[in-house]
Amino acid sequence: MRRLLSGLAVAVVAVIATAAPAAAHSDLEEASPGPGDDVAAGAASVHLVFGEGVADDDVNRVTLATAGGDAVAVGQPSVVDDGFGVCAATDALAPGEYVLDWRVMSEDGHPAQSRYSFEVTDAGSPVDAAACEGVDLAAPEAADDGFSVGTATIVGVGALALLVVVGLFVVRVRRDRRAA
């Protein structure tokens, strides 16, 4: 019985450890606006380029907020650059500091995500919008702060593991009582 419990405990730990999000498979290589950039007011799109292909999937997300936390409307990203980039339409950006969060699904099925900041000023450099021109971009929408798939998976696996451990404990206590 002790071997069974030890084996199950090792299996539960292995499942939980592998359920964590994978290391970034699609590292961000270029962005416009990019990390730390000072861009001109009025920019209305985001272009991100990755080192590996991005799946054309509805889980790809780009969210944008002011440094104060106010959400900026962003459209659903479209895959561009022969599958290595995404473009998303935004509301025209007014001067201020912004935080951009992105999450994409790699072609190999692994999610990658990160965030960075940039600034918009009247004297900033124009955003390189050429890669997003001619792409049918979804209209900007308010950000959804819902429960992410990754979080739901981790919580579900954790709950299942807890159920298994509690069940095994109950079985062991009952067997010990019968043996006594």
Whether residue 39 is predicted with pLDDT greater than 90 in this model: the reply is yes
| pLDDT digit string, tens, across residues 100-114 | 999 999 998 889 999
Whether residue 155 is predicted with pLDDT greater than 90 in this model: the reply is no
Extract the tokens encoding 116: 């960075």
Spatial distance between the Cα atoms of 141 and 125, rounded to a whole number of angstroms = 25
Q: Interhelix angle for 2-19 vs 149-179, to 10°?
A: 170
Extract the tokens encoding 98: 């912004």
| pLDDT digit string, tens, across residues 108-145 | 888 999 999 999 999 999 988 888 888 888 888 765 54
What CATH number corresponds to the domain at position 104? Answer: 2.60.40.1220
Structural domain count of the chain: 1
| pLDDT digit string, tens, across residues 41-77 | 999 999 999 999 999 878 899 999 999 999 999 999 9
Spatial distance between the Cα atoms of 85 and 113, rounded to a whole number of angstroms = 13
Q: What is the pLDDT of residue 23?
A: 47
Question: Which residue segment(s) compose the domain that 123 sits in?
Answer: 2-179
Whether residue 6 is predicted with pLDDT greater than 80 in this model: the reply is no
Better pLDDT: 29 or 2: 29
Torsion of CA 25, 109, 87, 96, to 10 degrees: -60
Extract the tokens encoding 158: 């954790």
